[in-house]
Amino acid sequence: MSKPTSGLTSTGVVSGITATAIVIADMVGVGVFTSLGFQITDIKSGFSLLLLWIVGGVVAICGAFCYAELATMLPRSSGEYNFLRRIYHPAFGFVAGWLSATVGFAAPIALAAMAFGSYFKSITPQASPLMLGLGITWLAALVHLGGVRFGGAFHNAWTILKLILIAVFIIAGFAIGNTQSTSFAPSTSDVAVITGAPFAVSLVFVMYSYSGWNAATYIVEEVREPARNLPRALLAGTAIVIILYVGLNAIFLTTTPMQELAGQLDVASIAGKHVFGPLGGRIVGALISLGLISSISAMTWIGPRVTMAMGEDMPVLRLFSRKSEHGVPVIAIVFQLLISNLLLLTQSFEAVLDFIQFSLAFCSFFTVLGVIKMRITHPDLLRPYRAWGYPLTPFVFLSVTLFVLYYLLVSRPLQSLGGIAITLTGLLVYYASRQYSHAPASDVSRPVPLKVDALDHIKLMATLLLAGALTLAAAPARSAETSAPDDAARFLAGLPPAADSSLASLTKRAGARAPFQFDVRKGGRGHAFEDPCVFGNTAARKTPNDAVHVQWSGFLVCGYVFPKRHDIRAQRSRAGGRGSAIDRPASSRCRFDVAQS
């Protein structure tokens, strides 16, 4: 590990308010407007539903405490790239940087841009969502190429507009919305709900909606007085988002019957009709689309800073460190813009995001773990800000993130392992680039050589093309013309893709949200209604008039069900009869062909 250094001075021009606006804009996307309907399917208590979003916010705050300590102790723009590089090893940092520089920001930008186009159709129905998405990415890039001050003013204006629109929606919901009988008072039954599996699984997807609370750490060198302003930005921004999220979900539940929201994607549009009348759906669509402009702006701003930092450290990447006269990394911004546009045109951003979720959570886990490591190995290092509540706050964040990693690995093994493979392509680039330069990459204080051989650039471009091809090959693409309009919003909410999506065959979530009807085939072979169904020691041959209904909870992995034995309930019903109980399966590992009833 390189010797840590700490600095308190900064020549940055970004105020604490702008840094807070970056955090808010990066956090508030589409997820909060779309995910409640699927949480209601499993959780019926108003108190538990709001508590779910409060718990997610507490975990995000715990992460913000830890990142604030690291960012003020190791004050350099680029987020996890800088932290993991300095705390563990340059290769670890490069892998995290590679993920961010290639698709870690470009894919969310493409996703938000496509969602912007889909929701903006409520204002301009004839417009193409794809063209609108491409247009907003170019607008954001051009604005931020104009300099930090100009980009900051643009970003602040759209973030303020987003906050005003959400506040108006919340106030209007309480003032003129239809009042439902939903109670937010706790009850004894909530204990079982909060400690149950549906609450834990829903928390995974709530955490996706809270992602972005670390946004300001990517531009710490551009922030004025970072020792004071950066912790305030992280904590204030996250706290404001918690209030907004709880308020929005309270409005959804207060104004709209739960049965109307259950299983629905566009819960905000449904609630909007109850608040504003028949035009409410279009009003909410406009609110979401205009709010996404600041989200795209935030990622366009902070993402290229990772690529720039990597260029400053590695001679063969020096091209990306070049700045304009306005002090912005021009080539890095254009590079990210081109990748996001490529993902938009190929419609592969959903698959890429699905594959990198595990790797992103993995990097965050080790970053927060680095706070504990540095407290032990470098206790005397200057810390302008110390994580409040240490060691409880890092423990809370690490525990929840570890559960997220476990859930992703078990419920989406193919995507998680594919994400690891994508991340490891960064090692290929790292060690290849090290061969082209004799400068050590472990000391950030050492200047980068000014001259790099032209052949090195050719080799680097070849390596980047190879790694990029491997990255895109891991994610199936589909035509932009056949894109389902809600796919972007569904993925932001952490939900399965539409039936016609190329991801439909790859993504299978754990557990079942509703009773499933299983055609049980011994060994997974044979024809329906012909092969025996073996339950315990009893073999029952089904006929076309028989059906076996099984309700279960457990994991569905690669077509295999791993149920909890005590949760299996099976019953065979015969046409015209009342049905009879059937014993539990002899094995807890059974092959099922699944069709939701």
Clarify whether residues 522 and 434 are in a common domain. Answer: no
| Total domains present in the chain | 2
* pLDDT tens digits along 109-120: 999 999 999 999
Clarify whether residues 356 and 434 are in a common domain. Answer: yes
Clarify whether residues 411 and 540 are in a common domain. Answer: no
Mean pLDDT along residues 142-156: 95
Identify any residues that bridge with 571 across adjacent strands, giving them in sequence order. Answer: 549, 581
CB-CB contact of 316 with 460 (8 Å): yes
The Cα–Cα gap between 60 and 65 comes to 9
Clarify whether residues 422 and 570 are in a common domain. Answer: no
C-alpha angle 471-474-480 in degrees, rounded to nearest 5:
90
- pLDDT at position 10: 55
Mean pLDDT along residues 321-344: 93
In a domain, 8, yes or no: no
Q: Which of 444, 476, 508 is the last residue of a domain?
A: 476
Q: Which of 476, 508, 532 is the last residue of a domain?
A: 476
- The residue among 61 and 501 whose pLDDT is bigger is 61
Clarify whether residues 470 and 524 are in a common domain. Answer: no
Clarify whether residues 536 and 440 are in a common domain. Answer: no
Mean pLDDT along residues 395-411: 94
Q: Could you give the angle at which helices 413-435 and 454-473 cross, rounded to 10 degrees? A: 170
Beta strands at 516-520 and 590-596: parallel, antiparallel or unpaired: antiparallel
Q: List CB contacts of 383: < 8 A, sequence separation 6 or more.
A: 6, 69, 72, 73
- pLDDT at position 437: 60
- pLDDT at position 418: 85
- pLDDT at position 489: 46
The Cα–Cα gap between 418 and 415 comes to 5
- pLDDT band at 9, cuts 50/70/90? low
Clarify whether residues 203 and 347 are in a common domain. Answer: yes
CB-CB contact of 145 with 330 (8 Å): yes
- pLDDT at position 124: 86
- The residue among 511 and 154 whose pLDDT is bigger is 154
- Mean predicted lDDT score pLDDT of the chain: 78
Mean pLDDT along residues 442-456: 43
In a domain, 375, yes or no: yes
Range of the domain at 564: 516-596
- pLDDT at position 122: 81
Clarify whether residues 454 and 566 are in a common domain. Answer: no
The enclosing domain of 70 has a CATH number of 1.20.1740.10
In a domain, 258, yes or no: yes
In a domain, 119, yes or no: yes
Clarify whether residues 521 and 471 are in a common domain. Answer: no
Q: In the predicted model, is pLDDT for residue 465 greater than 80?
A: no
Clarify whether residues 558 and 468 are in a common domain. Answer: no
In a domain, 498, yes or no: no
The Cα–Cα gap between 249 and 237 comes to 18
Q: Which residue has 């809370």 as its token pair? A: 396
- pLDDT at position 59: 97
Clarify whether residues 117 and 185 are in a common domain. Answer: yes
In a domain, 491, yes or no: no
- pLDDT at position 455: 52
- pLDDT at position 411: 87
- pLDDT band at 509, cuts 50/70/90? very low
Q: Which of 423, 451, 476 is the last residue of a domain?
A: 476
Q: In the predicted model, is pLDDT for residue 353 greater than 60?
A: yes
* pLDDT tens digits along 252-292: 999 999 989 988 888 999 999 999 988 888 899 999 999 99
Clarify whether residues 462 and 522 are in a common domain. Answer: no
- pLDDT band at 561, cuts 50/70/90? very low
- The residue among 278 and 58 whose pLDDT is bigger is 58
In a domain, 462, yes or no: yes
- pLDDT band at 301, cuts 50/70/90? very high
In a domain, 4, yes or no: no
- pLDDT at position 295: 96
Tell which residue, 513, 140, 492, has the closest CA to residue 340: 140
Q: In the predicted model, is pLDDT for residue 537 greater than 70?
A: no
Mean pLDDT along residues 140-165: 96
- pLDDT at position 79: 94
